[in-house]
Amino acid sequence: MAEQTKIADPGPLGLAGFGITTCILSLINAGVISAGALGVVLGLALAYGGGAQFIAGMWEFRKGNTFGATAFSSYGAFWIAFYFIEKAAPPAGLGVFLLFFGILTLFLWIGTFYLNRALFFVFLTLWLAFFLLAFHGFGVMGSQPGGWVGLICGLTALYTSFATVINATAGKTILPLGRPVARS
């Protein structure tokens, strides 16, 4: 009988790639740092937010985690697409792009009701940020509200990544992730 090889949890890698890329872009959207820093975001969007997150999604497929596979693969692809379209797309086109990722995120947020509270808040703030930034793309409002909500989202994703790594390394709960919102 073949020996079963255990693989590490790819979730923290995906959350870290998402969190760092989201935080830096959100600081630009919130007006905290100059739009001239967008080159940093684009590099991260391709390599870390896109590439590493997409790979994490593929490993989630291997683990049999449908939610993680869908989320990480989708947001990895989002960041790769963002790299290619950010400067080329008209604002309304970027608004439609963000709107549909907001809809996807709203649906995935419902799935987090059965996961932990940390992921619940990551996805709650993410769909809100997507909708706010889509409204910015449509010329309805400035980017600042979406930037601030996105920053909260990115920081929450980084906390969730860090807590998962620390808890797995320690073999016990050091940093809480919270119980699911809905009981199965």
- Per-residue pLDDT of 132-178, as tens digits, reads 999 999 999 999 999 999 999 999 999 999 999 999 999 999 999 99
Interval 2-59: pLDDT, tens: 667 889 999 999 999 999 999 999 999 999 999 999 999 999 999 999 999 999 999 9
Amino acid at residue number 13: L
Amino acid at residue number 45: A
How far apart are alpha carbons 34 and 157 in whole angstroms? 23
CB 52 within 8 A of CB 161: no
How far apart are alpha carbons 129 and 90 in whole angstroms? 19
Using pLDDT thresholds of 50, 70 and 90, give the confidence band for residue 125: very high
pLDDT, greater one: 1 or 138: 138
Determine the angle formed by the axes of helices 53-63 and 11-29, rounding to 10 degrees: 150
Q: What is the CATH number of domain 11-167?
A: 1.25.40
Q: What is the pTM of this model?
A: 0.95
Query: In the 8-state DSSP scheme, what is residue 34?
Result: -
